[in-house]
Amino acid sequence: MVGLPLSYESEGYDRDHLQIPPAHTRLIQALTARHARVVVVNVGGAPVEMPWADAPNAILQAYLGGQAGGGAITDILVGDVEPGGRLAESFPVSVTDLASHANFASHPTQVQYRETQYVGYRFHDTFRVPARFPFGHGLSYTSFEVGAAKITGRGHDRKVTVPVTNTGARAGSTVIQVYVHDVASTLHRPEQELRGFAKLELEPGQTADAVVALGERAWAVWDTASHGWVVEAGEFEVRVGLSSTDIRARATVRLTTGGEVTARVNPASAIATDTEFATLLGRPLPAPRPLFPFHYDSTIADLSQTAGGRVLEKVLIGQVMKAMGGDENDTAETRQMMEAFMRHMPLRALAMSSEGKVSFANLDRLLKAPQRDGGKGPSQISMTTTRAP
C-alpha cells in the first residue's frame, strides 16, 4: 500500500510534483527485488509518476474510496470482485513530459495556460507523447474481443454499435469508448476526442452489443465568431477502443451538412509562444500582479518577504492552527498539511471565514504593519492578530 499522504495532497494548495514519498518508492523497490509476486495498491486522488511500474505484477489504483475503501480493495485483491473502473485521466511517465509543465507555477500570482486544449489524452495522443497509463485504461480478470463497428442513423445523429465478446474463463466487465477524429478541420483539433462510452458486463463466452449514441455535439467545434457550436461538413473517423491508445475498430462517417467555422491562428506546437498566446487571448498578455505591497489576495506565505511580515505570518499560522484544533498531539504529517493549507490561504479569507473576529478594517491595519518603511521591518503589529479565526 503506497500513495499520497495528507501532506502531499489536500484541499487549499497545489502539489509541486507528481511523486509519491521516497520511502514508498524504496519499499516497492525492496519488495519487488526479493519477491516474484507483488501487487502495489496506490491510494490517492490524482496521477503520480510511477518509474517502478514495470516491477510489480499488478497495480491497483484505489483513488480515495472512503470508509468502505479497505473492504473494496480486499475484495478485488482476493478475486471476489473484479476491478471494473477505467482511468478518467492520463498518468504521465514524468511531469516534465507535459506541455503544462513549462508554465505552471512559473510566477506566484499568475499561471499562463499556454498548453490551451492540449491537456491529458488530447496532448498525449496529438503529439505522440506516450503516457505511463493512458486515458481510459483499465484491466479485468478476464479478456474481451471487439468486433467491427457499425454506424447507423442520418445527419448529425448517429448510433455506433459494436459486438463485444468475453473470451476469458470468468465473468467480467469492460468499457467501450468511442472517439471521433476530424479528418480535415478548419481549426487545429486534438487527434481524437472522447464522445461516448458504454459499460458491458458479460459472462464467459457471452457476446453483446455496445451501443453509443452520437449527437450534434460529437462532431462540433466552438466558433469564436458566432459564439456557438458548429459542425463542419466533411469526413470523420469514428474510433472504438478500450482506451485512448487501444483502438480496436474504426469506421468512417461523412457529414454533408454543416456550418462555417471561422479560421484562426493556431499554435505551431503544444505550447503557445508569446505572440500566439496574445493572439488567442485577443489582447496583450497582462502583467502579473506584483507580490508587494501586500493586498487582500496576498497569501499568508507572501508575508515572509519582509521582516515584519514574517512575524505576522508566524502569529497568523499559530492562531489559525489553534482555531482549527491543531495541537502538539497532531502527527507531523497532519501539521504539515494544515500549515501548507494555511500558507496558501489568501488574507481576505481570514476576514471572510472568521465569523466577525477579524474585520476587513482590522485586516487593513494588519496589512499596513509589515509594509511600513518600504517593507524593511515591522512597526508595532496589531494585537488583533491574536483574534484570528
Task: Give, for all 389 residues of the chain, the pLDDT tens digit.
Answer: 999 988 888 877 788 899 999 999 999 999 999 999 999 999 999 999 999 999 999 999 999 999 999 999 999 999 999 999 999 999 999 999 999 998 888 888 888 999 999 999 999 999 999 999 999 999 999 999 999 999 999 999 999 999 999 999 999 999 999 999 999 999 989 999 999 999 999 999 999 999 999 999 999 999 989 999 999 999 999 999 999 999 999 999 999 999 999 998 889 899 999 999 999 998 999 999 888 888 888 888 888 887 877 887 887 777 777 766 666 666 777 777 788 888 888 888 878 877 777 788 888 887 777 665 454 443 333 333 333 33
Closest CA to 88 of 237, 247, 215, 194: 194
**How many CA atoms lie within 13 Å of 259's alpha carbon, on the beta-carbon side?**
15
* DSSP conformation letters of 20-58: PPHHHHHHHHHHHHH-S--EEEEE-SS----TTTTSSSE
- Contact criterion met (CB below 8 Å) for 44 and 3: yes
C-alpha cell at 112: 499562463
CA distance 207 to 198: 14
Phi–psi pair at 182, nearest 5 degrees? -85, 115
